[in-house]
Structure 1
Amino acid sequence: MIRLLIADDQALVRGALSALLSLESDIEVVAEVGRGDEVAPAALAASADVALLDIEMPGMDGIAAAAELRTRVPSCRALMVTTFGRPGYLKRAMQAGAAGFVVKDTPAPQLADAVRRVAQGLRVVDPALAAESLAQGDSPLTERETDVLGVALTGGSIADIARILHLSEGTVRNHLSSAIGKTGARNRADAARIAEESGWL
């Protein structure tokens, strides 16, 4: 029997996934959580074999939750299931230790099969997303440019970004200018949007 944890901040989605996967004779849903920071403690408490993780959750995103699982509960393997099939997310999730990555419109039988394969120690990746990820390549942004654009997403001023990241305003301007050039954006808001949509933030 595969012991499954489901993590999604939308109760309706969580319930639907649980109901669908519970129909499988070899899968038992042993825990459901709505926040990323609840994943590792719940996986530990329920002795979960596989954790089905949404990416966008409060408390901690699914990618960070997968990384925490790998450290705190290495016996539980992470399978990302997301609405957002962004190539950058795929790469970041795999680097964080996720064993699989599928999109939410995956048919139920295929999703159940993905859970089984991940439980067996295999990797499962949505083929269309894998091809797109390979075509797109790695994020062109440095770690600091990523930080600056992440804060820029909230719409703060140069001074706000500098204060939050403990940088000088001149340094922030330089990083933003570089990020705008690398993303081919018109301005910092556009650069932040492009980076987010690519899954680099």
Structure 2
Amino acid sequence: MIRVVIAEDQQMLRGALSALLKFEADIEVLAEVSDGKKAWEVIQSKRPDVCLLDIEMPFINGLELAEKIRNAKYPCKVIIVTTFARPGYLQKAMDAKVDGYLLKDEPIDYLIESIRKVIKGEQVISMDLAATLFMKEDNPLSERETEVLRLAKDGLTTSQISNVLFLTKGTVRNYLSSAIQKLESESRQQAVNIASDKGWI
């Protein structure tokens, strides 16, 4: 029996996935949760064989969760299930050594077959995404620029960012200006949008 945990913040999709997987004689759904924090608690307590993780979840996103699972050396297989075909996300997933990276518009049969494949040690990537692996675009942002843009994405002002990172407002403005130049954008918001689209923040 393949024991599965589903972590997906969209209730309808989470329920549908769970219901469909329960029809499979060799798959047991241990838990279905709506955020990364609950997922991490369930993974630690129930030690599933496979985790199906959405990327954009509250508290801990799917990629961060994949890294936590790997760092804890849990043997469970990780399949990212997402709507995002962004090269940056895919590269982060590969860096986190995930076992599968599937788009949500794949047929359910493909997902079920992928669960069985990763248990056997295979890696599964949606066909539509395979080409993006060869189009890797290096992130030009420094760690600090990425941090500042991520906080800007969350809606924080320059003053709030400076408080969070213990930097002067001038330093924060310099990091923002540098990020805007590197991304060849015209504003803070445009820089945030570009970095988000590429999966860098």
TM superposition score normalised by structure 2: 0.92
- Code of the residue aligned with 1:26 in structure 2: it is D
TM superposition score normalised by structure 1: 0.92
Q: 1:73/1:51 Cα in 2 relative to 1: closer, same or farther (>3 Å)?
A: farther
TM superposition shift of 1:133: 4.2
**How many Å separate the matches in 2 of 1:35 and 1:97?**
21
Aligned position for 1:171 = 171
Please list the CA deviations of residues 44-79 of structure 1 after superposition, one character each: whole Å capped at 9, or x if unmatched.
333310000011111211111111222336111110
CA RMSD in angstroms comes to: 1.7
Where do residues 51-200 of structure 1 align in structure 2 (5 Å cutoff)?
Answer: 51-72=51-72, 74-200=74-200
**How many Å separate the matches in 2 of 1:114 and 1:40?**
22
Aligned position for 2:24 = 24
Aligned position for 1:36 = 36
Give the total of aligned pairs. 201
**Percent of aligned pairs with the same residue?**
46
Q: 1:183/1:6 Cα in 2 relative to 1: closer, same or farther (>3 Å)?
A: same
TM superposition shift of 1:136: 4.1
**How many Å separate the matches in 1 of 2:181 and 2:122?**
39
**How many Å separate the matches in 2 of 1:100 and 1:77?**
8
**How many Å separate the matches in 2 of 1:21 and 1:176?**
45
Give the unaligned 5+ runs of structure 2. none
Q: SS state of the match for residue 78, structure 1?
A: strand
